[in-house]
Amino acid sequence: MAWRVLLRRKDVHTGLLNLAFRAGGTECFSSGAVAKPSQFIHCNKLQGAANCTIFKHYPIRNFHAGVYMLAWSRKKEDVVGLKAPKKEKRVRKETRTQPPVEAPYVAPKPKMTIKTSPDKTVEIFDGMTLLDLSKRSGATISALQSILQDLGEKVESEFDSISIDLAELVAMEIGVNIKRMHTGEGTVEPRPAVVTVMGHVDHGKTSLLDSLRQTSVAAKEAGGITQHIGAFVVEMTSGASITFLDTPGHAAFSAMRARGAAVTDIVVLVVAADDGVMPQTLEAMSHAKVANVPIVVAINKCDKSGADPERVRIQLGSEGLLLEDMGGDVQVVEISALSKLGLDKLEEALLLQAEIMDLKARTDGPAQAFVVEARVDRGRGPLATAIVKSGTLISGQYIVVGAEWGRIRSLRDTAGKVTEAAKPAMPIEIEGLRGLPMAGDDVVVVDSEERARMLSQGRKKKQEKDRLRKIDEGMTEEAEIAEETPERVEMPIIVKADVQGSVQAVTDALRSLNSPQVFVNIVHVGVGPVSEHDIDLAQACRAYIVGFNVRNPPSAITLGATQANIKILLHKVIYHLLEEMGRLIVEKAPGVAETQISGEAEVLNIFELKGRSKSKGPDIKIAGCRITDGHFSRSGTMRLLRSGDVVFEGPCASLKREKQDADTLDKGSDCGLVIEDCDHFQVGDTIQCLEQVIRKPKFISTQSGAVRIEC
Ligand code: GDP
């Protein structure tokens, strides 16, 4: 029987190591074993431990690590190219009544080895057989059985089914990524649409969300006060409802999608009637297209005198958006978020779009949900706003959220009312988690606290493994870059933002500014305003502090930052933040030294200075030139060309205009030029002046709103 070690402690009296196990729901200690926490050990003496009392001592007489773990560690130690060790001769076992306690530990031979493929993603589902998992993961049945045994589960046949949680635990041990597939079986009912508002900065996304929030029946009941929890529901008098994600912005949308959280059903594309299609309008269109999410266009600010909705329609049409008025299927509504005009029409359009899409979800059974925002409340601890995708989330359930776990202490709706359960498309604030999850994390319901702990531990371990692997890959990549460009400076950055989702989005966006010359190193991230701790950290590593959507820090902190010469950048619009960071990165970049032709001159005459004294040097030839292009400088290198071929190249020995020494001369000037060690000028030759310049990288922002640093 295999047991997972919970902790390891040395007995002060005996000096022996005590291992704590969880066995049959109770914890017990055993002395004398050597294993690390979370490792598995086999121990026959503990076979009956299901009935053991807490902390009762069970001496381990004989133990060995799980075969799978050993196979794993052996594989790692294997030297590539070496032959497999010869099989040892089978020796008949001695018949012993007691296994020798002092005998040195000999690891059992691994039964199998498993190829790890960390980039592989395996689809898992509840009730899948061992054979299914084996086919998908590429691991052998016996390997899977061995892992299951280590997990304390016994599966005899390859046709036996296992739970989705167990499948995930096994998959994590193998080292593959998983995608949980959820059954659609059960009562399937229509569900409200989940809508994200996107568009160019200042076109009125936030104003629209504010106005929509106020039209909600719940908001009216609550006197217009609703919580900002990352999403809200607009309930119409007809009983229909629409869920809006409260964080407008493309980065958050993409960050969520990148993490597999496809919660958005419809995108509302806000375009200001007085401004028209702008770079971020196009960016929003591409995001929606890539995500295969339909668009409903809201032409905003129609109350303004300069509004021209027709122009916006034509612009959108020419960008390839097939508008309804032009025979396509994209609905367009003219609104004013400020004076709340046309909001009912927009809601109708969204309901119609949802109807066309025939949005349905399973409403019974365990819930599957996604986190849209997470924060820490001083009194209530970590809080996560999630949107249920299917099933029903019930208060009191054990859940695993990303790599965190907890038991739902309370569920609150957007009006802050405590509720017992949450149905599909319902945003809900979950209280009771042990740690802070990230936007885009999945929420899964598990049977017990033990399963929740195990899954969370397994996921954390996998995350850490992936992180180390990425660092490893990054280091190799960096080493390659370093070979190409000798100098690469580092730009340490601390990111603070209002919510976890923004932290993620800003971090991802900043990393996109990485270049071979400047390494954007995010040294610390956090939710909340810029604190004293951030200043200390920034001072220690000369970091810039980026605050996104956070309030201005108190004057004492600002003063501290100024005195320590630390730059704090506060922004509310991600594009503006990237622009400023881009500028700073370009400034900081060492640049690449390049030789440039700064000017060209034609040789019109040749003068010779003969019979010079010894102290003044030997005879010299002077080229009498006219600068025909650019400028010439005394510090430049001169290149002599004849009929297009380079005849000589050397430093400038003298540059004079009318017998006066000159540092630089511009186009049109006549000059006398001497090139060191060169005396074979001919009339009609061309002389080029070469200068060393430092070329800095460029901050590029594309039409679609994407940014990058080009070296
Ligand atoms: P966002 O950057 O897209 O979130 O834009 P905001 O919602 O912050 O709006 C930018 C500016 O446009 C603010 O000054 C708003 O008051 C103004 N604005 C938004 N909607 C309207 C509207 O319908 N009419 C007018 N006249 N101004 C608006």
Q: Rounded to the nearest whole angstrom, what is the distance from the C-alpha of residue 228 to the centroid of ligand 1?
A: 19
- The three-state secondary structure class of 65 is strand
For ligand 1, the distance from its centroid to the CA atom of residue 218, given in whole angstroms, is: 24
Ligand 1: centre distance to CA 148 (Å): 57
Residues 194 and 221 in one domain: yes
Task: Name the pLDDT band for 581 (thresholds 50, 70, 90).
Answer: very high
> Is pLDDT at 492 greater than 80 in this prediction?
yes
Whether residue 39 is predicted with pLDDT greater than 60 in this model: the reply is: no
Q: What percent of the chain has pLDDT over 70?
A: 74
* 525 pLDDT more than 80: yes
Range in 41-50, 559-568, 685-694 the model is least confident about: 41-50
Counting Cα atoms < 13 Å in the Cβ hemisphere of 334 gives: 14
Q: How close is the Cα of 202 to the center of ligand 1, in Å?
A: 6
Q: Is residue 102 part of a domain?
A: no
Mean pLDDT over 202-222 rounds to 77
Residue 194 lies in a domain: yes
What angle do helix axes 555-563 and 532-541 make, rounded to 10 degrees? 10
Q: Is residue 78 part of a domain?
A: no
Residue ID of nearest Cα to ligand 1 atom 19: 204
Distance 297 CA to ligand 1 centre (A): 16
Are 223 and 356 in the same domain?
yes
Distance 270 CA to ligand 1 centre (A): 10
Residue whose C-alpha is closest to residue 382's, from 402, 368, 362: 402
Asked if 332 and 242 sit in the same domain, the reply is yes
Nearest CA to ligand 1 atom 2: 202
3 Cβ contact partners less than 8 Å away, ≥ 6 residues apart: 21, 22, 23, 40, 41, 42, 43, 46, 49, 152
pLDDT band at 272 (very low <50, low <70, confident <90, very high): very high
Examine the fold and report which residue of 531, 565, 588 is the final residue of a domain before the chain moves on: 588
Residue nearest atom 14 in ligand 1 by C-alpha distance: 202
Q: Enumerate residues 6+ apart whose C-beta is below 8 A from 522.
A: 493, 494, 495, 507, 510, 511
Quick one: 310 and 211 in the same domain?
Answer: yes
Distance CA 55, CA 262 (A): 46
pLDDT tens digits, 607-642: 888 766 656 667 788 999 999 999 999 999 999 999
CA of 529 to the centre of ligand 1 (A): 25
What is the residue range of 304's domain? 188-361
Q: Please name the residue whose Cα sits nearest to atom 25 of ligand 1.
A: 301
pLDDT band at 133 (very low <50, low <70, confident <90, very high): confident
Q: What is the pLDDT of residues 504-517, one digit of tens each?
A: 888 888 988 888 88
Choose which residue among 203, 205, 206, 207 to substitute to test ligand 1 binding: the one with the highest number of ligand atoms within 8 A of its C-beta: 207
Distance from C-alpha of 25 to C-alpha of 199, rounded to nearest angstrom: 53
Distance 264 CA to ligand 1 centre (A): 23
- To test ligand 1's pocket by mutation, which of 202, 211, 312 has the most ligand atoms within 8 angstroms of CB? 202
Q: Among the atoms of ligand 1, which is closest to the Cα of residue 573? A: 2
- Expressed in angstroms and rounded, the spacing between residue 611 Cα and the centre of ligand 1 is 82
The residue nearest atom 22 of ligand 1, judged by CA position, is 301
| Helix axis angle, 500-511 to 574-588, nearest 10° | 40
pLDDT band at 694 (very low <50, low <70, confident <90, very high): confident
Q: Given CA atoms 132, 133, 135, 136 in this order, what sign does their dihedral have? A: positive
Burial track 539-567 (b if 16+ CB lie within 10 A, e otherwise): eeeebbbbbbbbeebeeebeebbeeeebe
Residues 303 and 234 in one domain: yes
Is the predicted pLDDT of residue 605 greater than 90, yes or no? Answer: yes
| Whole-number pLDDT of residue 213 | 84
pLDDT bin (cut points 50, 70, 90) of residue 540 is: confident
Q: How far apart are CA 349 and CA 366, in angstroms?
A: 32
Q: What is the pLDDT of residue 55?
A: 33
Examine residue 72 and state whether it is found in any structural domain, yes or no. Answer: no
Burial of 506 (C-beta count, 10 Å sphere; 0-12/13-18/19+): buried
Question: In the predicted model, what is the mean pLDDT of the chain?
Answer: 78
What atom in ligand 1 is closest to the CA of residue 203?
3
340-350: pLDDT as tens digits: 999 999 999 99
Q: Is 124 exposed, middle or buried (0-12, 13-18, 19+ CB in 10 A)?
A: buried
| Separation of alpha carbons 222 and 200, rounded Å | 32
For residue 200, give the ligand 1 atom closest to its CA.
3
pLDDT reported for residue 2: 53
Which of 19-23, 60-64, 124-128, 139-143 is predicted least confidently?
60-64
Contacts of 98 (CB under 8 A, 6+ apart): 61
Asked if residue 263 and residue 221 are part of one domain, the reply reads yes
Q: Which of 34-43, 71-80, 149-158, 578-587 has the lowest mean pLDDT?
A: 71-80
Q: Does residue 396 carry a pLDDT above 80? A: yes
Residue 335 lies in a domain: yes
If you measure from the C-alpha of residue 315 to the centroid of ligand 1, how many angstroms do you get, rounded to a whole number? 20
Q: 184 falls in which pLDDT band (50, 70, 90)?
A: low
Q: Are 506 and 640 in a shared domain?
A: no
Task: Give the CATH number for residue 529.
Answer: 3.40.50.10050
Tens of pLDDT, residue by residue over 75-91, are 443 433 333 444 444 44
Does residue 250 sit within a domain? yes
674, 606 contact by CB (below 8 A): no
Report the nearest-CA residue for atom 20 of ligand 1. Answer: 204
Contact partners, residue 685, CB within 8 Å, separation at least 6: 602, 603, 623, 640, 641, 642, 647
Assess whether pLDDT exceeds 80 at residue 69: no
| Ligand 1 atom at minimum distance from 339 CA | 23
**Higher local confidence (pLDDT), 709 or 312:** 312
Among the atoms of ligand 1, which is closest to the Cα of residue 210?
7
* Confidence (pLDDT) at 395: 95
pLDDT of residue 633: 93
The number of CA neighbours under 13 Å toward the Cβ of 706 is: 9
Atom of ligand 1 nearest to the CA of 335: 23
Q: Residues 87-121: pLDDT tens digits?
A: 444 444 444 444 434 444 444 444 444 555 556 78
- pLDDT digits 0-9 by tens, 439-470: 888 899 998 898 899 889 888 888 777 777 76
Determine which residue's CA is closest to atom 6 belonging to ligand 1. 204
Which residue from 178, 52, 207, 46 is spatially nearest to 117, judged by alpha carbons?
178
In a domain, residue 421? The reply is: yes
Task: Note the maximum CA span of the chain.
Answer: 114
Judge whether 466 lies within some domain.
no
Higher pLDDT, 25 or 460: 460
Q: Is the pLDDT of residue 704 over 80?
A: no
183 pLDDT band (50/70/90 cuts)? low
- Predicted pLDDT of residue 373: 84
Q: How far is CA 206 from its chain centroid?
A: 24
- Does 205 share its domain with 330? yes
Q: Which atom of ligand 1 is found nearest the CA of 270?
A: 3
Question: What's the CATH code of the domain at 194?
Answer: 3.40.50.300
Q: Could you give the number of structural domains in the chain?
A: 5
211 CA to centre of ligand 1 in angstroms: 11
Question: Can you tell me the mean pLDDT for 671-678?
Answer: 91
Structure-block tokens of residue 314:
């034509």
What's the 282 CA to ligand 1 centre distance in angstroms? 19
Ligand 1 pocket check: which of 201, 214, 338, 573 to mutate, most ligand atoms within 8 Å of Cβ? 338
For residue 606, is pLDDT > 80? yes
User: Residues 292, 206: one domain?
Assistant: yes
Q: Which residues line ligand 1 (CB under 6 A)?
A: 199, 201-207, 248, 300-301, 303-304, 336-338
Task: Give 204 Cα–ligand 1 centroid separation in angstroms.
Answer: 4
Q: Whose CA is nearest to atom 10 of ligand 1?
A: 202
Sign of CA dihedral 333, 312, 580, 704: positive
Find the 300 Cα to ligand 1 centroid distance in Å: 8
> Which atom of ligand 1 is closest in space to residue 207's alpha carbon?
7
Instruction: Strands of 102-151 (E only): list them.
Output: 121-125, 128-129
Give the position, in ligand 1's atom list, of the atom nearest the Cα of 336: 23
Say if residues 347 and 293 touch (Cβ distance below 8 Å). Answer: no
Q: Are 210 and 307 contained in the same domain? A: yes
Quick one: angle between helices 130-137 and 164-174, nearest 10? Answer: 30
Give residues with Cβ within 8 angstroms of 507, minimum separation 6. 495, 522, 525
* Weakest-pLDDT range from 306-310, 539-543, 559-563: 539-543
Do both 618 and 506 map to the same domain? no
Residue 91 has a pLDDT of: 43
Residue with CA closest to ligand 1 atom 11: 202
**CA of 331 relative to ligand 1 center, distance in Å:** 21
Q: Which of 301, 329, 361 is the last residue of a domain?
A: 361
Instruction: Show the tokens assigned to 129.
Output: 């057989």
User: Do 517 and 577 share a domain, yes or no?
Assistant: yes
- CATH number of the structural domain spanning residue 406: 2.40.30.10
Residue pair 362/183 in contact by the 8 Å Cβ criterion:
yes
Tell me what the mean pLDDT of segment 261-275 comes to: 90
Amino acid at position 473, single letter: E
